[in-house]
Structure 1
Amino acid sequence: MTVPTIDVHAHVLLPEIEALVAGLPGLAGARELDARRNGAEALAVNGPMVRARIPAMTDVAVRLAAMDRQGVDVQLVSPSPSHYHYWSDEQTAEKVWRLANEATAAHCAAAPDRLSGLGLVPLQHPEQAVEALDDALGHGLLGVEISSHAPGRELSDPAYEPLWARAEESGAVLFLHPFGCTLDERLDRWYLSNTVGQPTENAVALSHLIFSGVLDRHPGLKVIAAHGGGYLPTHIGRSDHAWSTRSDAGAGCAHLPSSYLRRLYFDSLVHDPHVLRELVRVAGADRVLLGSDFPFDMGSEDPVGALRAARLTDSDFHAVRGGNAAALLRKD
């Protein structure tokens, strides 16, 4: 049987989430922070860009037609990261993740042979995280999407240990997709908030998982890093050098940082065939999955073509195109 082409980085927009939080204390401040981080010029482009893509993120028929044009058989659909709302209090947070899990599952249920989904957990309230993950799994979702940090908490925070343990036990997928970079106004021009901010956040978050020993304590975690893991895979030698040279850098994890790349998964969305080849080299061809960031403008309209441009061997090409994701998501 031919392995399906599987895109693990695709988004759904959930207007009901935004209706839920509209007017609540904290939303205005979160939007002001987002505006400062992105800058006026980026916001002027973002609004029309997102509006033009609403049908592709809400209408299953439009989504499937786009997938057909791309040659994609299956999408792993995650909520737009704008739905994280990590500013919200306990009661609102629970409403957000319950609604996100339910709505994402309903969207995927319209085409169950072609769409699988991920839910949300409230990283700002770690005490709810396991319940939220179980709720997502109970709706038939394959796991959850998380950002690179929550206010005042990095992914190395011990408060997340129950989440990692439950995700490992259940086999749930954790899709690491940043939203917002803490470099703030330094990146507020030329869309640096995304082009520099996203790969920076990916690298920082993955470094927290590696150096803190999370991956030692939970070797069975299924973590997919968006955007090819950002800067970390191509600059992992610096991490290895620090771990080998400095007692403080090497105190938290048992092995060379580069060795942990082969315990993680990465999407292929790096926008450069040479970088994609390097990602495959350092992480292993069995750890890279096709990703498009559907349907945003910073994604790829032809993810299979972008993968083909890397000129991988046939076996590696087909592994990344869908074989790895089929095994990970049990779609084989």
Structure 2
Amino acid sequence: MTTPTIDVHAHVLLPAVEALVAGLPGHAEARELDARRNGPAALAVNGPMVGERVPRLTDPAVRLAAMDAQGVDVQLVSPSPSHYHYWADEETARKVYRLANEATAAHCSAAPDRLRGLGLVPLQHPDLAVRALEHALEQGLLGVEVSSHAPGRELSDPAYEPLWSRAEETGALVFLHPFGCTLDERLDRWYLSNTVGQPTENAVALSHLIFSGTLDRHPGLKLIAAHGGGYLPTHIGRSDHAWSARSDAGAGCAHLPSSYLKRLYFDSLVHDPHVLRELIRVAGADRVLLGSDFPFDMGTEDPLGALRAARLSDADFDAVRGGNAATLLTEGLS
């Protein structure tokens, strides 16, 4: 039996979540911050871009037809990162994660053999995170999606230890997908907020998890980093050097930083076949998964074509195309 082609980076838009938060205290301020970080030119493009893609983001039948055209058998569907709403108070955050988890599960239920889902956790309220994860699993989702940080908290914050522990215990997937960059207005032109901001946020978040020893304490954590892990995999030698040369850099984790890349998973969405080959070299062909960022414009319309461009061996191609993800998605949750 041929291994299915599995795209682990695909999104769903949840209008009910946006209706829930509209007009609430803090929502306008969050939108203003997002606008400042992206700049007016980017916002002028984003609106029509998302609008044109709404059917693919909300209608399972349209999604499945697009998957067929791409040659994708299965998608791991996660909410649009715009639904994080890490500004929300506890009561609102509880409503957001429950609605997002339930709506994502409902979307995937239209084709359960082809659509698997991830939920959300409110990182701004660590005390709610474990319950949010458990709620996602109760809906039949495979795990949760998180950003690279929450206001005032990095992923290395001890407050998240219960979340990592529970994710490890249950076998839940954690999809690390940044939204927003704290470099703020420095990136407000030419869409630098995304092209530079996203890979920077990936690198910072993963470095926190590595250098803090979080991955030492949770070696079984199944974490998938979007965008190929950002800048970190191709510049991991600098991290290794710091760990070896400086006592402050090496104090928190037990092993060379590069060794932790082989404990993580990465999607293939790096937009450069040479970078993809390097990612596979440093992380291992068994740790890279096909990803498209469906259906946004910073993704790829032809994820298999992008994978073929890397000119991998047949075994590595098949592993990234779907073999690795098939194992990851079908492992039983305890």
TM category (shorter chain) comes to over 0.9
- Alpha carbons 1:325, 1:331 under 8 Å: kept: no
Q: Percent identity?
A: 86
Q: Within 2, Cα distance between the matches of 1:70 and 1:16? A: 28
- 1:228 paired residue number: 228
Q: 1:168 is paired with a residue of what secondary structure?
A: helix
Q: Within 1, Cα distance between the matches of 2:186 and 2:108? A: 38
Tell me how far 1:331 sits from its aligned partner: 7.3
Tell me how far 1:10 sits from its aligned partner: 0.1
Tell me how far 1:54 sits from its aligned partner: 0.4
- 2:140 paired residue number: 140
Kindly report which structure 2 residues correspond to 1:34-45, keeping only aligned pairs within 5 A, or say none: 34-45=34-45
- 2:79 paired residue number: 79
Query: Any idea what the Cα deviations from partners look like across 1:96-150, whole Å, max 9, x if unmatched?
Result: 0000000000000000010000000000000000000000000000000000000
Aligned length: 332
Q: Within 2, Cα distance between the matches of 1:41 and 1:102? A: 34
Q: 1:133 is paired with a residue of what secondary structure?
A: helix
Q: 2:330 is paired with a residue of what secondary structure?
A: coil
- 1:271 paired residue number: 271
- 2:325 paired residue number: 325
Q: 1:329 is paired with a residue of what secondary structure?
A: helix
What are structure 2's unaligned runs of at least 5 residues?
Answer: none
- 1:287 paired residue number: 287
- 1:149 paired residue number: 149
Tell me how far 1:205 sits from its aligned partner: 0.1
Q: 2:144 is paired with a residue of what secondary structure?
A: strand
Q: Within 1, Cα distance between the matches of 2:25 and 2:54? A: 26
- 2:196 paired residue number: 196
- Alpha carbons 1:133, 1:144 under 8 Å: kept: yes
- Alpha carbons 1:228, 1:279 under 8 Å: kept: yes
Q: Within 2, Cα distance between the matches of 1:241 and 1:278? A: 18
Match for 1:80: what amino acid? S
Kindly report which structure 2 residues correspond to 1:7-86, keeping only aligned pairs within 5 A, or say none: 7-86=7-86
Match for 1:172: what amino acid? A
Match for 1:152: what amino acid? G
Query: Any idea what the Cα deviations from partners look like across 1:256-297, whole Å, max 9, x if unmatched?
Result: 000000000000000000000000000000000000000000
Q: Give TM-score scaled by structure 2 length.
A: 0.99
Q: 1:206 is paired with a residue of what secondary structure?
A: helix
Once superposed, what is the RMSD of the aligned Cα atoms?
0.8
Tell me how far 1:25 sits from its aligned partner: 0.4
Query: Any idea what the Cα deviations from partners look like across 1:132-184, whole Å, max 9, x if unmatched?
Result: 00000000000000000000000000000000000000000000000000000
Q: 1:33 is paired with a residue of what secondary structure?
A: helix
Q: Within 2, Cα distance between the matches of 1:320 and 1:51? A: 31
